[in-house]
Amino acid sequence: MVNQLLIHLIIISFPIFIQQFFYARKKIIDRIRYQVLNGFVFGAASILCMAYPVYVTGSFHGDLRSIPLIVLIIYGYKYYLPGVIALAVAVLYCLYIGGDDVVLSTASLLLSVGPCFFFLKSLRKNQAAKRMLICMILSINSVIVLIASLFLYLESNPNSIEIRSHGIFIMVLAASSFIGMGISTLLKEHFIETAYLKHELERSERLKIVSQIAASVAHEVRNPLTVVKGFLQLLKESVDDKRKDYLNIALSELDRAEYIISDYLNLAKPQADQLEIIEVSEFLVHTLEIMNSYGLIQNVQIHLNCNQTDLYVWANKPKLTQVILNLIKNGVEAIPDKGEVTVNAYYYNEEICIEIIDTGKGISKEELEQLGTVFFTTKESGTGLGILVTYRIVEALKGKIAFQSELGIGTKVLLRFPAVEPEN
C-alpha cells in the first residue's frame, strides 16, 4: 500500500512540473490549445492514480485521483476549460473500468472535485494563503467523501470485511491525501513566485538600462537646450509677428524636450528623500484641486471618496503628488467624450489603499501586461515615461501599484502604501 501511495505522490507532482515549463511563457497559457493540453495532462495523472489503487475491502479501493484535479481547477484562476476536461477524462475512465462500485466511485469523484468550481471567481493571483487553505479544505472534503462512500459500500455489501479491520488503511490514505495536497500546493506556489520574480527581474534590468542612459545623457542634453532657449527668447523681442510665431513653436518644443528630460532624470534617480508623514485625505483634497480645472476642460468629473481622517503614509509629498497627478491625468485622457474619474482612499490590512478609477475606453489584456515597460504607451503623442516614472516612485516609497482594466468599461489603478501612526 505504501509503495502505491508513493507512486501516487510522484504521479500528482509530474503534471505540475510539466505545467511549469509552459507557465514561464505567459503568452502561451491563454491559448485554447494549452488549456486543452493542460486538462488532458492532469486528467491523465488522475487516471494513473486510479490505475494503481489501494484496495480497502472487497472491490472498494481508494486513491489520490482528486488531488491533481483540485490543484488544476483552483490554480486555473478564471479558466474553467482545463478543469472541465480533466474531470471529464477522469469520470470517463471511472465508467470504463466499471466494477461493483462504479456508481459510488464516480459519484465520490464528482463530490470531491465539483465544489472547486465554486471558488474560481473568488480567487485572485495574489492570494496564495487563501488558495492553499481552500486546497487543504477540499482535500479534507475528499477524505470525508471517501469514508462516506466506504460506509455506503459496506451497507450494500454486508459480507465485506468490517471497517474496523482496515481502519489503518483509511488513516494512511487520509494522511497521504493531506501530504500530497500540501506538496502540490507548495510546488505550485513556488513556481508562481519564481515566475513573478523572473518577471520583476526582467523589468528591473530594463529599467536599469534606461536609468544608465538617462544618467549619462540627460544632463548633457539639458545644458545646451537651456542656452538655445535663452537665445530664442532674446531673439523673440526683435522680430516681426510672423517670425515670433515660429519662435513660439520652437520654444514650446524645447519645453516639451525639457519635460521629457526631467522624466529621464526621475528614472535615473527615483530615491524619495525628505520623507514626511502625510495625512492622505487632506493630501488628496489639495491634489485633486489641481486637476479639477483640467478635468472640466476635458468634460470629465473628478470625485473623491474618503471620509477617514486617520490615514497616514510615510512619503515624499512632491513625488507622491506626481504619482497621483500622473494617474488622474491618464484617467482623464482615457475618456473620449465625457465621464468620471473617482479616487477612493481607505485602510486595509495594515496598508493605505488609493484607488483611481476612470470610465474610459479601457486597456486590452496585452497592453495591460506591457504597462511599465520602456517606451510603451497607449497615447498617440505619449512617450511611455510617465507610467515608468510612476512605477519607480511608488517602488521608492515602498509601495505597490496594480492595474485592472476592461475594454469599453474603464481602468482601475490600485496604490498600496504601508500605514504609519501619526507623530504625537
The more confidently predicted of residues 341 and 161 is 341
Share of the chain above pLDDT 90, in %: 12
Residues 60-82: tens digit of each pLDDT: 677 888 899 999 888 877 778 88
Q: Is the pLDDT of residue 143 over 80?
A: yes
Q: Is the pLDDT of residue 365 over 70?
A: yes
Indicate the pLDDT class of residue 313, thresholds 50, 70 and 90: very high
Mean pLDDT, the chain, integer: 80
Domain 276-418 belongs to what architecture? 2-Layer Sandwich (3.30)
At 355 the pLDDT is 94
Q: Is the pLDDT of residue 378 over 70?
A: no
Q: Is the pLDDT of residue 272 over 60?
A: no
Amino acid occupying residue 75: Y
Separate counts of helices (H) and strands (E) for the chain: 13, 9
CB 306 within 8 A of CB 284: yes
Q: Which residues make Cβ contacts (< 8 Å) with residue 381, sequence separation at least 6?
A: none
Distances (CA, A) of 371 to 62, 275, 305, 378: 49, 27, 26, 9
- DSSP H helices in 52-166: 66-74, 81-97, 102-113, 128-156
User: Cell digits for 153?
Assistant: 459500500
Q: Is the pLDDT of residue 164 over 50?
A: no
Residues 240-256: tens digit of each pLDDT: 777 788 888 888 778 77
Domain 2-202 belongs to what architecture? Orthogonal Bundle (1.10)
Range from 48-57, 178-187, 260-269 that averages highest in pLDDT? 178-187
Q: Is the pLDDT of residue 264 over 70?
A: no
Q: Is the pLDDT of residue 260 over 80?
A: no
DSSP3 helix / strand / coil % (the chain, rounded to 5): 65, 15, 20
The residue extents of the domains of the chain are 2-202, 203-268, 276-418
DSSP symbol at 419: B
Indicate the pLDDT class of residue 383, thresholds 50, 70 and 90: low
CB 345 within 8 A of CB 354: yes
At 266 the pLDDT is 63
Range from 169-178, 199-208, 269-278, 339-348 that averages highest in pLDDT? 339-348
Sign of CA dihedral 270, 273, 274, 275: positive
CA–CA separation, 59 and 61 (whole Å): 6
Listed as own residue / partner, the contacts of 366-375 with beta carbons closer than 8 Å and 24 or more positions apart are 368/403, 368/405, 369/26, 371/403, 372/203, 373/203, 373/206, 374/206, 374/207, 374/209, 374/210
At 356 the pLDDT is 93
- Provide the whole-model pTM: 0.61
